[in-house]
Amino acid sequence: MVKAKGADNRANGFGTGPVFFTAISTILGAILFLRFGFAVGMLGFWGAIFIILLGHLITIPTALAISELATNTRVEGGGEYFIISRSFGLKIGTTIGVALYLSQTVGVAFYIVAFTEAFEPLFFWWQNNFGWDLPRQAISIPALAILAFLILRKGSGMGVKALIIVTVILFGVILLFFLGKPIESEEALRQPGNNFGFFNQSNFFMVFAICFPAFTGMTAGVGLSGDLRNPAKSIPLGTLSATFVGMIVYVFIVWKLSVSASQADLLEHQLIMSNIALGGALIIPLGLAASTASSALGSILVAPRTLQAIAADRSLPLRRFNILMSRAKGNNREPVNATIFTLIVAFIFVAIGNVNMVAGVISMFFLITYGSLCLISFLNHFGSPPSYRPRFKSRWYFSLAGFLLSVWVMFQISPVYTIASYMIIIILYLIIEHYNKEQKGVVNIFKGALFQVNRAIQVYMQKNYGDPDKEEWRPAAVCISSHSFEREKVLNLMKWVSYKHGFGTYFHFIEGYYSKQTFNESQQILAELIDLQKEENNALYIDTMISPSYTSAIAQVIQAPSISGMENNMVLFEFDKDEPQEIERIIDNIKLTKAGNFDVCIFAGSKVAIKYINGIHVWIRATDINNTNLMILLGYIILAHPDWRKSFIKIFSICSPQNTDSTREELLELIQAGRLPITLTNIEIITSEGNQSISEIISERSKNAALTIMGFRDEKIKDVGSGFFNGFNELGDILFVNASKSKEIK
């Protein structure tokens, strides 16, 4: 039997232990030794406890989300990056993956710089004996060089063994700290145990920002996913156990600090733990050195694997860089090139020595990553895709809470850094999106959730569908045409109607019987039409219709449900004015649409280019009682589209000489009541003496209009037939309107 490629690597991979040791050694890191005493001194016991609880309200949902996602799919190299990219697509995955990688890499520099604090006695001795300050880089750069040599020489196997040793040292140091005695002082204000009676709320988020990196080690072990025998088992067990063990240790350390030192001592001494622990002068610096070295070691193990996974997906717009960084060495696929690159970046930040300016943004990237993982879990719960069947199940409200808290805490820590972080993420995404146009993008994040929302809305609207006569009217138009590629104007008209106030569905008509051939043809045409209509101001829904005849196609279209949740209420026909015979089949099918109480519009398109600046002309007559309001409404609905932003609407009213005054009064009353949103200067009342036909009057005044709207009656069609629609050759584009019933202008 032939083994699959990579099978040996999995069989000889790590178990759950390395995930736990990598996470716990990063959790119990520099912040624990350097900042927890300061936190208790600033906020009091309960304030420090609240920091731990708030931090874990973010990290525990993230740990649950990672555990859930890891048991739903085969997790390979790249840890959090792999989970995000396989859930959200490579564009989003790479964007957040780059941010995550930078966080992990600069994190190496943070831990190495913190490592130098363990040598504080050396720096004091040097200053006292030589009279000048020894730079921190004298320790940090050689320390990183030694760590780099060991990792490159021995690989991840050595790193995991070192993590086990470091973890044992850490717990030994913590045990000696708990065995220590309270600090004694003759001053009353320096007596231990006075930290339970206050909670300094004003400085809470400032201190939280300082302490938050203590909680970011929770996902460190996930980065070893490519080196694990069974990631679906080891990631949940190792991550969750490290998270809960770390939380318990934090709570007890805060308690021990509160009962062992005064507030003044906690604020004065950075390494206050050394004054409490048994043999603290030696033990606590040893613990600090061990914790920071282990955190740096964990980051050096994880960051290159994140970069290796990103490069292996070829998502970065740097082809040679992708090839170089994705290369691996040995059976364990050690990311040697990615490790060297990571170490170079870390050396730069260590040499600078001051990375405080970057610290805020880096912390934000971690929070963005955690929020993204929680969001993936929530959207998978909410969207309920059939492929989402994790063996470990969290709860959707945990994931949602983790996501919302991540965003909220980011703004509480620093709105400036939050905005800067999101700006960097957006720029990264735009660059990656430009390079990977064929990959899944932002829309795929919410596709499943949108499906559930749309389904719920559709069902709700159907169950609560009221009397349409009592609802404010808005168009839900359907149009069917076989000339989609030759006649752009009808698509534009549907786009205008559906832009803001209504909804439009356009069907491309394919005459024939439904078969494999016609189906494939319809899918190809649909893809081309959607591609042509990809623009910012287009809200038109496009589909295809295969039917043996034009009449049967119309019958199918008017019975099709609208995806908007509204019932379709308008049918738009179209014909070319240079092909006057086309109107005949439209007239033959008007009766069919009227059976369903549809408003009917017929668009007569011309070859004349639209000059929007010439405006929309609406012609109303005494015989257009039902059509008048619909024509005016359509004029304003079309005018709302940005294409018409420099245009205007003008209403022409034709009446007999004896009705001029009454017509003017009626229009003025509508304007004053606010039911006609137009000024009287945009209304022209035309008196017909009978010496000119209606078509001549309209043609004379609207021959240059961008669009002319006029009504037609069923009785007129019976008398005149197609001659009515073909009697306006001097005009440009015309929209003929026939309302099933009069509309109310509100």
443, 466, 487: which is the final residue of a domain?
443
The whole-number pLDDT of residue 623 equals 76
What backbone torsions phi and psi does residue 724 show, to the nearest 5 degrees? -65, -45
Are 681 and 637 part of one and the same domain?
yes
Are 483 and 559 part of one and the same domain?
yes
Are 577 and 674 part of one and the same domain?
no
Question: Domain with 652 in it: what CATH number?
Answer: 3.40.50
What backbone torsions phi and psi does residue 506 show, to the nearest 5 degrees? -110, 130
- Reading the block at residue 214, the tokens are 């203590």
Amino acid at the residue 731: L
CA–CA distance, 263 with 335 (Å, rounded to integer): 47
SS3 251: helix
In a domain, 3, yes or no: no
Are 301 and 160 part of one and the same domain?
yes
- Reading the block at residue 202, the tokens are 């004003």
The whole-number pLDDT of residue 479 equals 93
Given phi > 0 = left and psi -120 to 50 = alpha, else beta, which region is 78?
left
The residues pairing with 724 across neighbouring beta strands, listed in sequence order, are none
Question: Domain with 267 in it: what CATH number?
Answer: 1.20.1740.10
Alpha-carbon separation of residue 540 from 61, 447, 500 (angstroms): 40, 19, 10
Sign of CA dihedral 233, 239, 242, 248: negative
Asked if 488 contacts 535 with a C-beta cutoff of 8 angstroms, the reply is: no
The whole-number pLDDT of residue 3 equals 39
Are 124 and 147 part of one and the same domain?
yes
Question: Domain with 549 in it: what CATH number?
Answer: 3.40.50.620
Regions in the chain scoring below 70 on pLDDT: 1-14, 73-79, 88, 154-161, 185-193, 219-227, 330-332, 353-362, 384-387, 437-449, 458-459, 461-471, 535-537, 565, 670-678, 690, 745-746
Q: Where are the beta strands (DSSP E) in 599-727?
A: 599-605, 616-621, 649-655, 683-687, 707-711
The whole-number pLDDT of residue 536 equals 56
Asked if 545 contacts 557 with a C-beta cutoff of 8 angstroms, the reply is: yes
In a domain, 136, yes or no: yes
The whole-number pLDDT of residue 6 equals 42
In a domain, 746, yes or no: yes
What backbone torsions phi and psi does residue 228 show, to the nearest 5 degrees? -100, 145
C-alpha count within 13 angstroms, C-beta hemisphere, residue 503: 13
CA dihedral 536, 532, 448, 400 (to 10 degrees): -20
Are 254 and 138 part of one and the same domain?
yes
In a domain, 466, yes or no: no
CA–CA distance, 690 with 709 (Å, rounded to integer): 22
Residue that the structure tokens 């202008």 belong to? 745
Are 194 and 339 part of one and the same domain?
yes
C-alpha count within 13 angstroms, C-beta hemisphere, residue 488: 6
CA–CA distance, 743 with 733 (Å, rounded to integer): 24
In a domain, 464, yes or no: no
> How many C-beta neighbours within 10 Å does residue 355 have?
16
SS3 25: helix
The whole-number pLDDT of residue 362 equals 66
Are 314 and 395 part of one and the same domain?
yes
- Reading the block at residue 472, the tokens are 């404010």
Asked if 95 contacts 81 with a C-beta cutoff of 8 angstroms, the reply is: no
The whole-number pLDDT of residue 621 equals 81
In a domain, 367, yes or no: yes
Asked if 16 contacts 232 with a C-beta cutoff of 8 angstroms, the reply is: no
Are 48 and 195 part of one and the same domain?
yes
The whole-number pLDDT of residue 708 equals 95
In the chain, how many domains are there? 3
Are 598 and 680 part of one and the same domain?
no
Asked if 597 contacts 571 with a C-beta cutoff of 8 angstroms, the reply is: no
In a domain, 126, yes or no: yes
CA–CA distance, 497 with 476 (Å, rounded to integer): 9
CA–CA distance, 479 with 506 (Å, rounded to integer): 5
The whole-number pLDDT of residue 149 equals 80
Nearest to 590 by CA among 600, 576, 605, 579: 600
Residue 101, C-beta contacts closer than 8 angstroms, at least 6 positions apart: 81, 303, 306, 307, 310
- Reading the block at residue 505, the tokens are 């569905």
- Reading the block at residue 110, the tokens are 């943070």
The whole-number pLDDT of residue 432 equals 83
Are 291 and 403 part of one and the same domain?
yes
> How many C-beta neighbours within 10 Å does residue 465 have?
12
Work out the mean pLDDT of the chain and round it to a whole number: 81
Asked if 663 contacts 685 with a C-beta cutoff of 8 angstroms, the reply is: yes
- Find the DSSP H helices in 386-414: 396-413
In a domain, 344, yes or no: yes
Query: DSSP state, 474?
Result: -
CA–CA distance, 311 with 383 (Å, rounded to integer): 30
584, 605, 626: which is the final residue of a domain?
605
567, 585, 605: which is the final residue of a domain?
605
The whole-number pLDDT of residue 570 equals 92
Are 683 and 746 part of one and the same domain?
yes
CA–CA distance, 46 with 32 (Å, rounded to integer): 17
Angle 336-352/137-154 helices, nearest 10 degrees? 180
Range of 639's domain? 608-733+742-746
The whole-number pLDDT of residue 65 equals 84
